[in-house]
């Protein structure tokens, strides 16, 4: 993976460029990397703050031959790949908050955004966007995210070379992706669960269609979060923001 790299100083969003490239038929493993994004996108129609040369703003194009309902598994796989790469390069111990936030000391260091190109049940391309805060100091973050965002520099007290981290991520991703294509999601799910913090806890899930409270009892084989409400009903959560209750 990552054999064809499109590198830019500044773009609107690497996701948009990757979408266009995928439409043109570029091959699996193509990556788009930028030093700066002026219109970085986050989940749930949010923006992603992507200042110049301080983080990794990257999109990866995949063309897996899997049914459309299995694509959330790739988001979980990506989270595992990034956690492993960060552990290896920094010695820090990041954790995953479902579905795809990576936190260190309770603050977000990585966000993942998965977008699809599909027709009926056929997946043409999966575009996985990764935003990793690497060398920012606290003052770099805008006020509204200062309390909830962190970077590898803030957590470790040293600067990191972005290219080295990208290399490590692609290596761990490739290892997990090969295993996924060969053995399916089971082994990836076990790894994901070993890094997850939101399981077996009382949570509040804010979805686009309302708020659900209950105990996060696990993820199913498609990567969907299962939440048991007080009434004992098990709800399937496909997309939400999760808050862990104290
Ligand atoms: C989130 O946590 O909301 C997901 C954030 C994803 C950000 C990355 S940065 C590279 C890629 N390009 C974008 O515009 N977004 C993703």
Q: 215 and 167 in one domain?
A: no
Same domain, 55 and 99: yes
Q: 105 and 145 share a domain?
A: yes
Q: What atom in ligand 1 is closest to the CA of residue 40? A: 14
pLDDT above 90 as % of the chain = 77
**Does the annotation list 27 as a binding residue?**
no
> Residue 218 sits in which domain range?
202-244
Look up the CATH number of the domain holding residue 172.
Answer: 3.30.930.10
Instruction: Let me know whether 70 and 180 are in one domain.
Output: yes
| Residue 114 near ligand 1, beta carbon < 6 Å | no
Whether residue 108 is annotated as binding a ligand: the answer is yes
In terms of domains, do 188 and 207 share one?
no
Contact of 242 with 204, CB cutoff 8 Å:
yes
Looking up tokens 């990034």, which residue turns up? Answer: 82
* Residue 41: HSE in the Cβ half-sphere, 13 Å Cα cutoff: 18
Q: What is the pLDDT of residues 29-44, one digit of tens each?
A: 999 999 999 999 998 8
> Using CB atoms within 10 A of its CB, is residue 27 exposed (0-12), middle (13-18) or buried (19+)?
exposed
Q: ipTM score here?
A: 0.99
What global pTM score does this model have? Answer: 0.93
Residue whose CA lies nearest to ligand 1 atom number 9:
131
- Per-residue pLDDT band at 55 (split at 50, 70, 90): very high
Taking the C-alpha atoms of residue 98 and residue 196, their distance in angstroms, rounded to an integer, is: 7
Q: Which atom of ligand 1 is nearest to the CA of 18?
A: 12
Element (H, E) at 131: strand 122-133
* Residue 54 beta carbon below 6 angstroms from any ligand 1 atom: no
Same domain as 190, residue 206? no
Sign, CA torsion 212/217/218/219: negative
114 in the same domain as 29:
yes
Residue 131 Cβ < 6 Å to ligand 1 = yes
Check which CATH number belongs to the domain holding 229 and give it.
2.30.30.100
**C-alpha distance from residue 126 to each of 74, 117, 120, 135 (Å):** 9, 6, 14, 28
Three-state DSSP state, 79:
helix
Query: By the 8 A CB rule, do 242 and 97 touch?
Result: yes
Overall average pLDDT of the 203-214 stretch:
91
Q: Token digits for 65? A: 């031959």
Q: Say how many Å lie between the CA of residue 232 and the centre of ligand 1.
A: 35
**Test site for ligand 1: of 48, 56, 108, 150, most ligand atoms within 8 A of the Cβ:** 48
175 is in an annotated binding site: no
Rounded distance from Cα 106 to ligand 1 centre (Å): 19
Q: For 76-118, what is each residue's pLDDT tens digit?
A: 999 999 999 999 999 999 999 988 899 999 999 999 999 999 9
The helix (run of H) or strand (run of E) holding residue 72 is helix 71-90
Question: What does DSSP say about strands 107-119 and 225-228: parallel, antiparallel, or unpaired?
Answer: unpaired
CA distances from 171 to 2, 54, 93, 182 (A): 9, 22, 19, 17
CB of 42 closer than 6 A to ligand 1? Answer: yes
- How many domains would you assign to the chain? 2
240 and 206 together in one domain: yes
37 known ligand binder: yes
Quick check: CB of 73 below 6 Å from ligand 1? no
Last residue of a domain, one of 165, 180, 195: 195
Angle of helix 186-195 relative to helix 71-90, nearest 10 degrees, comes to 50
Q: Which residues contact 90 (CB under 8 A, 6 or more apart)?
A: 152, 155, 156, 160
What per-residue confidence (pLDDT) applies to 56? 97
In sequence order, which residues have a C-beta less than 8 Å from that of residue 26 and are 6 or more positions away? 4, 61
Pocket of ligand 1 contains residue 111 by CB under 6 Å: yes
Pair (40, 160) in one structural domain: yes
Ligand 1 contact via 57 beta carbon (within 6 Å): yes
The CA distances from residue 214 to 63, 90, 116, 167, 196, in Å, are 36, 35, 30, 39, 17
| 92/206 same-domain check | no
Does the annotation flag 43 for ligand binding? Answer: yes
Q: What is the DSSP letter of 188?
A: H
Residue with the bigger pLDDT between 199 and 137: it is 137
pLDDT at 234 over 90: yes
Specify whether 14 is located in the same domain as 135. Answer: yes
């Amino acid at each position: 993976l990552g054999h064809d790299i499109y590198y830019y100083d500044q773009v609107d969003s690497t996701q948009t460029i990757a979408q266009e490239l995928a439409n043109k038929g570029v091959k699996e493993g193509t990556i788009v990397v930028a030093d700066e994004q002026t219109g970085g996108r986050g989940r749930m129609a949010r923006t992603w703050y992507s200042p110049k040369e301080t983080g990794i703003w990257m999109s990866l194009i995949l063309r897996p031959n899997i049914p459309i309902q299995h694509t959330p598994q790739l988001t979980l796989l990506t989270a595992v790949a990034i956690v492993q790469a960060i552990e290896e390069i920094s010695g820090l111990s990041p954790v995953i908050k479902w579905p795809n936030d990576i936190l260190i000391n309770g603050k977000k260091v990585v966000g993942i955004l998965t977008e699809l190109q599909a027709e009926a049940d056929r997946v043409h391309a999966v575009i996985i966007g990764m935003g990793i805060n690497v060398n920012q100091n606290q003052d770099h973050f805008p006020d509204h995210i200062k309390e909830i965002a962190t970077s590898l520099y803030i957590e470790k007290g040293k600067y990191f070379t972005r290219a080295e981290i990208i290399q490590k991520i692609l290596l761990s991703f490739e290892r997990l992706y090969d295993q996924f294509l060969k053995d399916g999601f089971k082994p990836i799910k076990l790894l994901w669960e070993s890094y997850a913090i939101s399981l077996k806890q009382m949570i509040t899930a804010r979805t686009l269609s309302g708020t659900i409270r209950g105990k996060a009892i696990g993820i199913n084989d498609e990567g969907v979060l299962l939440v048991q409400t007080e009434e004992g009903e098990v709800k399937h959560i496909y997309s939400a923001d999760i808050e862990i209750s104290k």
